[in-house]
């Protein structure tokens, strides 16, 4: 077999599975004769002439480090370093023992229905017959646990928490771990079997640094029922596994998952119990070797798997040898978890500080930006306001210059020399006390009267001899006056009668003969400036002519 290639070894293993064992030399000879075709080799062995036996893919067997050197020092059986795989009888022997297999199955069925322990009868232990092909099922651990509970009348000690709504791949922790015995309440309990796969159970043992208990049974063995009723339901054994937080997994080798576990653990006799846990790698050159999953001990057959023997082995041998290392690993894991949590807290604190600093910087930048925008907006507003005021000043100067030209033209064009025959004699008292007196005709308009008063406010730098003879532009002066603000915007003053005090407002094209306070021969008017900026062009306090009217202001003087 040493000269076989990997593909030839795989074909040999497949043929061995199909024939349930047999002589390897015979199998190699058959395979070599058919060019290592497993299907044709099976046809030759079973004589079917057709491929009735399905090919079985080879399985990858996980390698464990075995550390069972302390196992069996108190046992009667000699210590074994390795365990051979289950011998497989030939196909001819399987056919010859088929009737015995049927009889064994009938007896086993009757005794199991009657709940009678199956006696140990030698011929009932013969299991040479195995059906062709792969008859194993792919049931999950939960199905095997339900069958186990029905067969033993017990319940898993952790099933109560699961019935309260715990839905996970692993049975929840038991709430009955502090019980003094397994039957105080009248019920029997099983260990808290894991509902996950075998591989998941091993990963849990590695990750959580706990001891795993692997239970493998075979319903075809005579000791199966007694092992389940005595060992698996023993109160002391169940409480010990529960109180020490063992991870328990089990199955029947008729199922694919349990069969794969039996191959990896090299189980040869059932019932089979193995304890696994992480241990330091032996023969390692490193000062701190990494832990590896190790088979701590293996117990096969009913004689070595009774509850007292397993308890003695756990209490006196396995726990003192394994627990200190596991505790150190768990402490190291807790320290790593604390360090990780501390680093996360520090990272979170650093992130929070960085976030607050960033928010503060962004807020400061936003405030500076807002202040800068407000400053620019204020500067823009001031510039616009200054420009507007400058435009208003320029426009006002332009209008004032234009109005001055019109006023000078009106002084010469509208204020004609006085006609002695005019019957309206009007006296005007200026704001600075000066008095003007002139005769107007009844057909003269208020524009003429206002132009007569306004000429007193034309600055002396504009002499009457230099007044323009033509209007600055075509059009009516009264329309221009209305366009440029009327009485206050153009004239800048108002006229009032002395007594009773009545305003004489400017109106376009209104004749003086139609003014109530002037139509009866004239009257005395008082000038009131709209603003204090306009000044007279004559000396203050000098009357150009006595008007002959007595007023309250005259009496005061």
Q: What is the largest CA-CA distance in the chain?
A: 171
Which tokens belong to 244? 């020490």
- Residue-wise pLDDT for 314-372, tens only, equals 999 999 999 999 999 999 889 999 999 999 999 999 999 999 999 999 999 999 999 99
SS3 content of the chain, % helix, strand, coil (to 5): 45, 10, 40
Give the pLDDT of the chain (557 residues) as one tens digit per residue.
Answer: 667 888 888 888 877 776 666 677 777 877 877 778 877 777 777 654 433 333 333 444 344 555 555 454 334 333 333 333 344 455 566 666 667 767 777 776 676 666 565 554 544 444 444 444 445 566 778 889 999 999 998 999 876 555 544 444 444 444 333 333 444 556 889 999 998 899 999 999 999 999 999 999 998 888 899 999 999 999 999 999 999 999 999 999 999 999 999 999 989 899 999 999 999 887 666 666 678 899 999 999 999 999 999 999 999 999 999 999 999 999 988 999 999 999 999 999 999 999 999 999 999 999 999 999 999 999 999 999 999 999 989 988 888 888 888 888 888 888 888 888 888 899 999 988 889 989 998 888 888 888 888 888 888 888 888 888 888 887 778 887 887 777 677 888 889 988 888 888 988 888 988 888 888 888 899 998 876 555 555 444 344 444 444 444 444 44
| Residues whose CB falls within 8 Å of the CB of residue 445, separated by 6 or more in sequence, listed in order | 508, 509, 510, 511, 512
Contacts 24+ apart (CB under 8 A), 25-29: 28/1, 28/4
What pLDDT was estimated at residue 378? Answer: 95
What pLDDT was estimated at residue 2? Answer: 65
What pLDDT was estimated at residue 540? Answer: 40
- Residue 430's Cα: distance from chain center in Å? 86
Q: What is the CATH number of domain 415-529?
A: 3.10.20.90
**Cα angle 123, 129, 132; round to 5:** 170
CA distances from 40 to 24, 132, 377 (A): 17, 15, 96
Fill in the DSSP letter of residue 433. Answer: S
What pLDDT was estimated at residue 98? Answer: 67
Fill in the DSSP letter of residue 85. Answer: P
Burial class (CB in 10 A: 0-12, 13-18, 19+), 350: exposed
How many residues does this entry show for the chain?
A: 557
| DSSP reduced 3-state for 300 | strand
| Paired sense of beta strands 493-497 and 435-440, if any | unpaired
What pLDDT was estimated at residue 165? Answer: 46
Report the CATH fold assignment for 141-159+188-282+289-335. Glutaredoxin (3.40.30)
Which tokens belong to 358? 């960033």
Q: Is there a contact between 215 and 271 (Cβ–Cβ < 8 Å)?
A: yes
pTM score above 0.75: no
| Paired sense of beta strands 247-252 and 212-217, if any | parallel
Fill in the DSSP letter of residue 445. Answer: B
What pLDDT was estimated at residue 171? Answer: 44
What pLDDT was estimated at residue 420? Answer: 86
């Amino acid at each position: 077999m040493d000269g076989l290639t990997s593909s030839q070894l795989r074909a040999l293993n497949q043929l061995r599975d199909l024939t349930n064992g047999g002589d390897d030399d015979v199998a190699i000879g058959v395979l070599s004769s058919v060019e290592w075709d497993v299907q044709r080799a099976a046809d030759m062995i079973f004589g079917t002439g057709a491929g009735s036996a399905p090919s079985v893919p080879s399985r990858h067997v996980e390698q464990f480090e075995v550390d069972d050197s302390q196992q069996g020092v108190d046992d009667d059986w000699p210590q074994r370093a390795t365990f051979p795989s289950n011998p497989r009888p030939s196909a001819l022997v399987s056919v010859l023992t088929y009737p015995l297999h049927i009889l064994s199955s009938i007896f086993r069925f009757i005794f199991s229905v009657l709940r009678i322990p199956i006696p140990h009868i030698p011929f009932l232990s013969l299991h040479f017959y195995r059906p062709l092909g792969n008859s194993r099922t792919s049931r999950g651990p939960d199905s095997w646990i339900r069958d186990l509970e029905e067969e033993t009348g017990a319940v898993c000690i952790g099933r109560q928490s699961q019935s309260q709504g715990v839905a996970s791949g692993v049975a929840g922790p038991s709430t009955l771990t502090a019980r003094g015995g397994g039957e105080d309440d009248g019920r029997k309990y099983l260990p808290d079997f894991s509902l996950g796969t075998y591989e998941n159970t091993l990963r849990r043992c590695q990750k959580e640094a706990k001891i795993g208990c692997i239970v493998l049974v075979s319903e075809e063995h005579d000791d199966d029922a007694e092992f389940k009723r005595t060992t698996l339901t023993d109160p002391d054994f169940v409480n010990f596994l529960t109180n020490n937080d063992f991870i328990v997994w089990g199955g029947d080798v008729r199922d694919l998952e349990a069969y794969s576990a039996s191959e990896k653990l090299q189980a040869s006799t059932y019932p089979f119990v193995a304890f696994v846990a992480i241990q330091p790698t032996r023969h390692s050159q490193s000062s701190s070797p990494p832990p590896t999953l190790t088979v701590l001990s293996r117990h096969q057959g009913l004689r070595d798997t009774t509850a007292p023997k397993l308890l003695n082995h756990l209490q006196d041998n396995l726990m003192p040898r394994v627990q200190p290392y596991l505790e150190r690993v768990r402490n190291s894991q807790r320290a790593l978890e604390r360090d990780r949590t501390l680093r996360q807290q520090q990272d979170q604190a650093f992130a929070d500080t960085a976030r607050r600093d960033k928010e503060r910087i962004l807020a400061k930048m936003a405030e500076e930006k807002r202040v800068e925008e407000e400053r620019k907006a204020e500067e823009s507003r001031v510039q616009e306001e200054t420009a507007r005021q400058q435009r208003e000043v320029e426009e006002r100067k332009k209008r004032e210059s234009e109005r001055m030209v019109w006023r000078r033209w009106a002084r010469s064009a509208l204020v004609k020399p006085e006609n002695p025959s005019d019957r309206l004699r009007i006296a005007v008292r200026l704001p600075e006390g000066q008095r003007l007196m002139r005769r107007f005709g009844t057909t003269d308009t208020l524009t003429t009267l206002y132009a007569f008063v306004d000429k007193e406010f034309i600055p002396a730098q504009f002499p009457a001899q230099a007044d323009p003879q033509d209007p600055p532009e075509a059009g009516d002066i009264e329309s221009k006056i209305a366009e440029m603000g009327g009485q206050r915007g153009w004239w800048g003053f108002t006229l009032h009668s002395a007594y009773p005090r009545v305003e004489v407002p400017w109106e376009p094209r209104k004749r003086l003969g139609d003014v109530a306070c002037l139509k009866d021969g004239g009257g005395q008017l008082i000038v009131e400036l709209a603003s204090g900026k306009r000044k007279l062009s004559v000396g203050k306090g000098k009357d150009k002519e006595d008007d002959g009217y007595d007023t309250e202001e005259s009496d005061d003087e």
